[in-house]
Amino acid sequence: MNENFITTDGGKISISEDVISVISAIAAKEVEGLASMGGNLLGNIGDILAKKNQGKGVKVEFGENGLVIDVHITVKFGVKIREVSASIQEHIKGAVETMAGLDVDTVNVFVDGVELEKAKANESAE
């Protein structure tokens, strides 16, 4: 696991990739139209607050010009994929730069699927 160091007057601050992944996942989950990340459906508040699987679907690399963050998502049927993806990019970039104080070079969003709510409702009825 790579770590990035921020040098301050008091010493160094290290922020791990796992922390950046969790921040990114939480920021992405705030966007309306997101169905799931990394193949898991969004859970209840207990799942969101638990660190376990929190950063699933997010990959972080420390590049020369800042962080490169890859996010794999599934969107809800009927949403504008381009708008949801752009909003996720903005949310992640803003959250990571604000919370971690690190520069984000790129946020790549990979839309891996579309969740059909009618199909989901039918499966739960069976």
Overall number of domains in the chain: 1
- Asked if 23 and 37 touch (Cβ cutoff 8 Å), the reply is no
* Verdict on whether the full-model pTM lies above 0.75: yes
CATH of the domain at 117: 3.30.70.1350
Strand-pair partners of 38: none
Positive or negative: CA dihedral 119, 31, 13, 5: positive
Q: Residue 5: how many CA atoms within 13 Å on its side-chain side?
A: 6
How many other CB atoms sit within 10 Å of the CB of residue 74?
19
Per-residue pLDDT of the chain in tens (126 residues, 90 and over written 9) = 445 677 778 898 888 899 999 999 999 999 999 999 985 444 444 444 454 556 678 999 988 899 999 999 999 999 999 999 999 999 999 999 999 999 999 999 999 999 987 555 656 666
98 class by beta-carbon count within 10 Å (0-12 exposed, 13-18 middle, 19+ buried): exposed
* Domain hosting residue 68, numbered range: 3-125
